[in-house]
Structure 1
Amino acid sequence: MDDIVKAALKKWPNVPACRGWLALDARGEWYMRDDRIQAAGSFPAVKGSRITHDKLREFIHRNYEADEAGQWYFQNGPQRVYVELEATPWVWRVRYRGAGQAPEVVSHTGRSAGDVQASLVDEAGRLYLVTELGLGIVHPQDMHDAAEAIEGGLWVPEAVRSDDLPARHGYVRSPQAAHMRA
């Protein structure tokens, strides 16, 4: 977390959280969802405006975390901005390095995933990796590299239902919906 964010938290410790305004799709793209967009429908059916400003994306990446309930958020100064997730908290970029070598796996935020502990494939054929960092979906553009790891026997995917992943791996896809139910 950025030092400026830590200082803001100390100065203003009780700022209410924001829900529904920020979303992460299954390709690692961030979206702003204002009141009008939220009224038009839930994420990902209605995505909102894609965030393209590099410095803002980097700021979000450095300050992206989960709370104790498995709700992911971006700490924006003193305010938590909870994130609506299309799939998982992490989107993996995979680079195959050659036969017998473990592929490089990096998150959409640029963080190393660490070792791959398990691979999962859902009913739609989407590939997920369980890593030291957590659960994430493999970016669709990296499926060729991921397939090389599978064909080389480095990963052996287990079948899973996508709807079972949040409970199984301790994350919340929609903090806004969870907050409204509470």
Structure 2
Amino acid sequence: MDEAVLAAMARWPNVPEVFGWLGLDRRGRWRLRGEPIDHPGLRDFIARNYAHDERGRYFFQNGPQRVFVTLDYTPWVLRLQGETLLTQCGTPFAEAAQVLIDENGSVLLAGAGRQVGLIDDRDLPELLACLHDPAGQPPGDDAFEDVDRAQLTCSLGRRAWPVRAIRSSELAARFGFIAQPAD
């Protein structure tokens, strides 16, 4: 976090928390009361001061005030830049362990600890081209009907991750985050 933010927190420790104003959409865009935040400086400030509490509620620390983030799906949205996966904050995603595909076709990466990030839909064609079956062949359409049985692997550069199915309703509990934080 920014030094100025840490100093403000120490100076004013009892500022009320804010809920329902700030959101993160499925493309990694910050939204204020539903409208995209277009100012690059504000987006960068939010990204530098984005964290979570012990309950799994993600927030932006705005000086002494904690502004909780409503998540459209996951706390992280990932973009591919070459062989690197970057979060919406512009930082590399923690070491990925597996690729997950939900019943709606959303593709996610499970990272170190309990981190999970949704792949931005604009990068899906590139990532899906990295999938292969045990024989090294691209998967057929039927592979996505039963992802676990298809035994797919996602190979990106020198890394290879198993591909597993997940139900979207299980995601928050499995990865310990609260998508709709409340007081």
**Normalising TM by the smaller chain, what interval?**
0.7 to 0.9
Task: Assess if the C-alpha contact under 8 Å between 1:95 and 1:145 holds in 2.
Answer: no
Name the SS for the 1:6 alignment partner.
Answer: helix
**Are residue 146 (structure 1) and residue 132 (structure 2) matched?**
no
Name the SS for the 2:74 alignment partner.
Answer: coil
Gaps of 5+ in 1: 34-47, 97-102
Aligned position for 2:171: 165
TM-score (norm 2): 0.82
**Are residue 71 (structure 1) and residue 52 (structure 2) matched?**
no
Quote the Cα distance in structure 2 between the aligned partners of 1:150 and 1:124: 17
Quote the Cα distance in structure 2 between the aligned partners of 1:144 and 1:156: 18
Name the SS for the 1:156 alignment partner.
Answer: strand
Name the SS for the 1:65 alignment partner.
Answer: strand
Gaps of 5+ in 2: 137-152, 156-160
Name the larger-Rg structure.
2
Matches within 5 A, 1:57-96: 57-96=43-82
The AA in structure 2 aligned to 1:71 is R
Quote the Cα distance in structure 1 between the aligned partners of 2:103 and 2:163: 12
Q: Deviations 1:63-119 (Å, cap 9, x if unpaired)? A: 0000000000000000000000000000001245xxxxxx31110100111321011
User: Structure 1 stretches (4+) deviating beyond 4 angstroms?
Assistant: none
Aligned position for 1:36: none
Structure whose residues are more often helix by fraction: 1
Aligned residue pairs: how many? 157
Quote the Cα distance in structure 2 between the aligned partners of 1:145 and 1:58: 26
Q: Deviations 1:21-49 (Å, cap 9, x if unpaired)? A: 1000010011111xxxxxxxxxxxxxx21
Quote the Cα distance in structure 1 between the aligned partners of 2:94 and 2:116: 11
The AA in structure 2 aligned to 1:168 is R
**Are residue 19 (structure 1) and residue 25 (structure 2) matched?**
no
Quote the Cα distance in structure 2 between the aligned partners of 1:13 and 1:66: 17
Quote the Cα distance in structure 1 between the aligned partners of 2:75 and 2:124: 18
Please report the RMSD computed on the Cα atoms of aligned residues, expressed in angstroms: 1.4
Tell me by how many angstroms 1:9 deviates. Answer: 0.3
